[in-house]
Structure 1
């Protein structure tokens, strides 16, 4: 984990089993005879040892992830210092990631997160559809701190670089099948086949995944479990090497997800919450609780471990994603030219209840389509001597369309109205088209001043353009109808407000670093870099007067650290300290006004400071027994935050930043030894994430408590008639912890809804894997 994560990889085996996609995936180094295996990463767009680069990066190989039974990338929660990962509410296949306290939690695709996502070298504009199964992940790199020079804008907190395996035309035909059954009706089928089409010239890899379960959250209204998973993913990869200098890789992918949306847990309360950090601000006393006929929906005592849903029906979701990626690399004598082209088309449809109650009085339906195209062209030197450089250009364009339809029971607005008086249609309904275009040029050079001292300098100049076309639909009174009746599919009524906007931004983001190889086993470094998260428009503004734009946020990052190996590579200790200073910080706020409309808006909330220390220790006491410990300490706070969150202008500096746990701790131990005709392995993982807030006003209902989770697994591998078999048994979340992973609400007293998304408790499973 993190910079010292290599003990998680198999000892005495190569870090990677296949050559990666062009220069974005590293070739496997020669196996180490003893000690901790080396990990080769591409955090600087080159294949380099993780111990030799001045970047704080976590690296997880396929074997690492599978030994720890990490099913998707969300499973590394707690394994990386200063990192939190939570699933989103608007899709079953959406992740919210926070690194060193940098994150954005709004699910709107107009809000670009401060954490970059890169899949097979392609920058992904929105983190939907990225809950990839580890079965097809060759390597997962988590880069912490701004990565703007090489990975682009919107990486102020860091980046997740996901590399999948490609076929080798020189290999013989081989494949793998894996079957998993488990709790809540879990059934997974995974398959991979790699075969050469033209020996040494062309090969193909086919990956198929089907993952289903019957839902993990109990619903008391329907007396069943909700949140069914139904996901299929298909991936075909062609890799050609027509000459010794030219290589090409084409990746075609299709994802079909019919999983239900995560059910909400009702947090309505009749109590006015006054113990907020901001004097004069209150929340709670939700509007439905003021109606005596509906008070049964509300409760004055909220248990953070209550994961019982009450919604009246299932919440169907639909996601179809198609993607294509093309890598071309031509190697010359002293340099290479790399071209990476990516296209991604995602269509979504979802239905959910924002109230989380048995009445289902606030249903919402969303239909979305998101398309993106990107092109990167770069030059990579391979000069003899002390100088090297990477330089290139980047183009990105995306278009997003969304139509949202909602209803609200009129009786909830006024306690004097009887239930069933009518339905308020379209209180939050809108249709939005949103275009993003980004262009950039970049370069990063390295120069060895001496045999031990290296200077690294680089920069990126980015041009961004955003366009918005937003239509809001006005309030209307419908006829009485059942509260959980289906929503209209296409009828939105007459437009009440129409807003358009266009804005451009440009920014230069430099980076400077020095690294000093004090000893063969000890490298020290210091760096300064600037992060840039682009601005934009409020795609869900309650009226055209509030569409913005909001400005970009920028971050100055300072970091020092060292990376070291000791005792014949049996102990690895890496430590880093950082300080990040952010200005024009973007905050996504949802404000609901009684009788006066509602919506989401984004403001630039002045300044914030993040600082901390991260340490990673890997120990290999004896061959076959690896141990890794990662500890992160984060001190994050606003340094200047004055404004109005809906209850008057105040000094808001005392508020705690969201999703900034002070401590994160991860420990994994893995022991493998010969047993009979095969190999037996035991794996244990412990993760601790300190308490943190998820609500901008620090509403205590949105405070996720400190959580410790333990996962255990055992495996036995053996050969049978030329087939390598492996049997795996595992238990996740052994102590049955299931806190809420976030709080969603308005920021005013009297809000129509308050809800959280629960996490499942203890789960178990058994897998059978066959490789041939």
Structure 2
């Protein structure tokens, strides 16, 4: 195949990306040079230094910007198709909140104060909150998925793994790229990225701008509010990014980054799986249609800055300092019951900010690699929601009824870490690392009933004026601290240049937390712990035309945090208790293969299998006060037993440029959406995708036609269940007095056409 200077893509594919393409190392337009085709070396930063994917004893997937562009991947959630045993979904009532699970470990509830189970990072900056973490891919170099606990180098809240979003570094040349996309549902996207040397070889500026619009997949069929946008599952997002890079000397690099995202997409309405018993609204005909009595507007605003200084002390030693500050504000409307009555409406506000500092030192010796650092995090996560139960209030003679919950969870975390990889011989090496973390958390919770219909702010609906002052009392005001030591030990055996075996033990923890829905004083839940064992192989065969990476893993998940819903005679009480309820375990395998069948044809496959169960779930009988085990009613949520991906990538050379044809099939086995007595189960389903991408001979133009979910599969990615099953097969109504069993669904079939030009 041809190779172009400045070309947008060269068929780069990581081994771990289950259906991605790899570049072919070939002669550059010189027919006199014959080079056998081989898979490209993939560089990653899983251990906070640049290494080959095949040399890193970490189970991971890496997708480059070119690979994602050639498949029309627009969101970080689409990466789940290429990473075994991984779930990345948009959460229930919004487009921008992420639900992330890896190997059965994650966190589903996005309420303020709860900690993640999978860490999200932008250029090594930790993103603490799930709101706004469904990132649109703008000016990205690659996305890395690290599976298994990453507690040594990445710290707390990576007990399932970590997702790393790595932006492009500047080349120092003047560049400008414009890309436009049109598609079904009136999709209209425009992206503009570029860079310019302000001072040659010294100071560069880079930028990225994006505006992404799309009509809804469905609509809100009824709404009591006037002048509401009826689009459901629509998209209205703008994003911008500015970078400055200053090469102060050959040894000192300074960089500054600013980014801002504003998502004005409507709140997502859920699909009623049962007819309402309080309204005459039937189950909608389409899964993307809904009913609501709330405003349909929704807003997510994110803004962040970061500063990085890299200092090369010698050929072997370097220092790096990273500072970051991020703020997010998200007022949202979630209609739990999805009817035109105010049965169970939840308007809410999320308001978060964080600051981090990290100093890191890397030392590379003849036989060793050493990385160490100090880390500090200071974050505040606040919020408020109103559970509006107006119909219930009116049934007992009140003008309305609202349970208001608000509060803040302030967290400070300090850590020190170090990891050493040492070559004992040409074949044997060992890795040893540890991290010590100290967490401090303060929480305040307000919770109580208001005998009226209230909203978080004045003007939430036309003409609404919120009463002055605090409406509900403080029920919890407490603080707690924890400290954790998380080690990693590993042994690697390099059988030859193309074959490595590794085994490792690693530990991670998820921070303790207070119950943000507390109805009174209660102790904080202690941290969760995960112990993980891995045995793996990374290999290349057939003169580097076949790449096979396989990992066996086993993990023990202890002190799992869980919200238990307590029985109450008062249907208006959100009576919930947070505690450490028990433990679970998981065993599985992850395998990824890439085969360069011919210089033009790439075949790939990936497979993930996991056997995960709760071992023990201890609760207290409210009648006897005695503990009992209810693990038989619990399942690991958002975790299919197996996933696989099959794909092919074919390059066609022509007189007008190269055409790259991609086809893939991704399958997820059935999974439940809730841990305890889940009434929502998604049966196994498969998604077929196809793309054709063209690159011009001069390397300036490119175009892509992308078809996703070719067979228009309907699959559930979230939901709410506020009903109780009866012995006769029916359901007893839950909070609000209605049959609230709601599903949210993934995207239907979409077709889009992208055209790009690079100056």
Q: CA deviation at 1:523?
A: 0.3
Question: Do 1:217 and 1:760's aligned partners in 2 also have CA atoms closer than 8 Å?
Answer: no
Of 600, 613, 628, the match for 1:624: 600
Which is worse superposed, 31-40 or 737-746? Answer: 31-40
Q: CA deviation at 1:147?
A: 0.5
Of 202, 216, 235, the match for 1:229: 235
Q: CA deviation at 1:313?
A: 5.8
Matched, 1:329 2:310: yes
Q: CA deviation at 1:576?
A: 0.3
Matched, 1:371 2:353: yes
Deviations 1:571-616 (CA, angstroms, capped at 9, x unpaired): 1111100000111011244568443511554321211101101111
The equivalent residue for 2:323 is: 341
Question: Do 1:553 and 1:586's aligned partners in 2 also have CA atoms closer than 8 Å?
Answer: yes
Q: Structure 1-normalised TM-score?
A: 0.88
SS in 1 for 2:733: coil
Distance 2:203 2:18 in 1: 32
Q: CA deviation at 1:640?
A: 1.2
Question: Do 2:70 and 2:704's aligned partners in 1 also have CA atoms closer than 8 Å?
Answer: no
The equivalent residue for 2:508 is: 531
Q: CA deviation at 1:140?
A: 0.5
SS in 1 for 2:713: coil
The equivalent residue for 2:612 is: 636
What does 1:69-84 align with in structure 2 at a 5 Å threshold?
69-84=72-87
Of 235, 259, 264, the match for 2:270: 264
SS in 1 for 2:703: strand
Distance 2:482 2:746 in 1: 39
Distance 1:130 1:367 in 2: 16
Distance 1:241 1:645 in 2: 65
Change (3 A) 1:641 1:621: same
Distance 2:305 2:467 in 1: 31
Question: Do 2:434 and 2:488's aligned partners in 1 also have CA atoms closer than 8 Å?
Answer: yes
SS in 2 for 1:495: coil
Q: CA deviation at 1:477?
A: 4.4
Change (3 A) 1:400 1:32: farther
SS in 2 for 1:344: strand
The equivalent residue for 1:751 is: 734
Distance 2:438 2:369 in 1: 26
Distance 2:287 2:393 in 1: 25
Change (3 A) 1:484 1:257: closer
Question: Do 1:259 and 1:317's aligned partners in 2 also have CA atoms closer than 8 Å?
Answer: yes
Change (3 A) 1:297 1:651: farther
The equivalent residue for 2:190 is: 189
Q: CA deviation at 1:489?
A: 4.7
Question: Do 1:410 and 1:422's aligned partners in 2 also have CA atoms closer than 8 Å?
Answer: no
Change (3 A) 1:697 1:326: same
Deviations 1:623-664 (CA, angstroms, capped at 9, x unpaired): 132222110000000111121598996532222111121011
Question: Do 2:487 and 2:507's aligned partners in 1 also have CA atoms closer than 8 Å?
Answer: yes
Q: CA deviation at 1:492?
A: 7.1
Distance 1:663 1:194 in 2: 43
Q: CA deviation at 1:703?
A: 0.8
Q: Which runs of 5+ in 2 are unaligned?
A: 1-12, 27-33, 224-228, 455-459, 725-731
The equivalent residue for 1:388 is: 369
Q: CA deviation at 1:396?
A: 0.2
SS in 2 for 1:545: coil
Distance 1:728 1:198 in 2: 35
Deviations 1:710-738 (CA, angstroms, capped at 9, x unpaired): 1111122215xx67111211111111112
Of 96, 101, 122, the match for 2:99: 96
The equivalent residue for 2:451 is: 476
Matched, 1:687 2:649: no
What does 1:165-176 align with in structure 2 at a 5 Å threshold?
165-169=168-172, 171=173, 173-176=174-177
Distance 1:213 1:491 in 2: 39
Which is worse superposed, 754-763 or 48-57? Answer: 754-763
The count of aligned residue pairs is: 714
The equivalent residue for 1:707 is: 685
Change (3 A) 1:688 1:492: farther
Of 54, 57, 66, the match for 2:57: 54
The equivalent residue for 1:613 is: 589
The equivalent residue for 1:66 is: 69
Distance 2:677 2:326 in 1: 37
Question: Do 1:688 and 1:707's aligned partners in 2 also have CA atoms closer than 8 Å?
Answer: yes
SS in 2 for 1:514: strand
Of 366, 378, 402, the match for 2:383: 402
Distance 1:330 1:472 in 2: 50
Question: Do 2:407 and 2:445's aligned partners in 1 also have CA atoms closer than 8 Å?
Answer: yes
The equivalent residue for 1:254 is: 260
The equivalent residue for 2:714 is: 738
Q: CA deviation at 1:424?
A: 3.1
SS in 1 for 2:250: coil
Distance 1:489 1:646 in 2: 38
Distance 2:621 2:111 in 1: 20
Distance 1:437 1:121 in 2: 18
Change (3 A) 1:487 1:460: farther
Question: Do 2:192 and 2:210's aligned partners in 1 also have CA atoms closer than 8 Å?
Answer: yes
Distance 2:469 2:255 in 1: 45
Q: Structure 2-normalised TM-score?
A: 0.89
Q: CA deviation at 1:324?
A: 0.5
SS in 2 for 1:757: strand
Question: Do 2:428 and 2:491's aligned partners in 1 also have CA atoms closer than 8 Å?
Answer: yes
The equivalent residue for 1:284 is: none
Distance 2:510 2:256 in 1: 30
Q: CA deviation at 1:486?
A: 7.5
The equivalent residue for 1:158 is: 161
Of 533, 540, 554, the match for 1:565: 540
SS in 2 for 1:424: coil
Of 232, 251, 267, the match for 1:245: 251
The equivalent residue for 2:5 is: none
SS in 2 for 1:410: helix
Distance 1:224 1:476 in 2: 30
The equivalent residue for 1:665 is: 644
Distance 2:120 2:466 in 1: 33
Change (3 A) 1:578 1:747: farther
Matched, 1:717 2:723: no
Question: Do 2:191 and 2:210's aligned partners in 1 also have CA atoms closer than 8 Å?
Answer: yes
Question: Do 2:16 and 2:83's aligned partners in 1 also have CA atoms closer than 8 Å?
Answer: no
The equivalent residue for 2:3 is: none
Question: Do 1:540 and 1:600's aligned partners in 2 also have CA atoms closer than 8 Å?
Answer: yes
Q: CA deviation at 1:179?
A: 0.5
SS in 2 for 1:672: strand
Distance 2:102 2:48 in 1: 21
What does 1:436-475 align with in structure 2 at a 5 Å threshold?
436-475=411-450
RMSD: 2.6
Distance 1:488 1:569 in 2: 69
Matched, 1:760 2:747: yes
The equivalent residue for 1:220 is: 221
Q: CA deviation at 1:134?
A: 2.6
Change (3 A) 1:10 1:471: same
The equivalent residue for 1:25 is: none
Matched, 1:675 2:654: yes
Q: CA deviation at 1:325?
A: 0.9
Q: CA deviation at 1:326?
A: 0.9
Q: CA deviation at 1:3?
A: 5.2
Distance 1:491 1:750 in 2: 34
Matched, 1:45 2:48: yes
Deviations 1:504-551 (CA, angstroms, capped at 9, x unpaired): 00010000001100121110000001111111101122x1234x3001
Of 18, 23, 27, the match for 1:11: 23
Distance 1:44 1:175 in 2: 32
Distance 1:497 1:211 in 2: 42
Q: Which runs of 5+ in 1 are unaligned?
A: 15-30, 270-287
Distance 2:677 2:185 in 1: 34
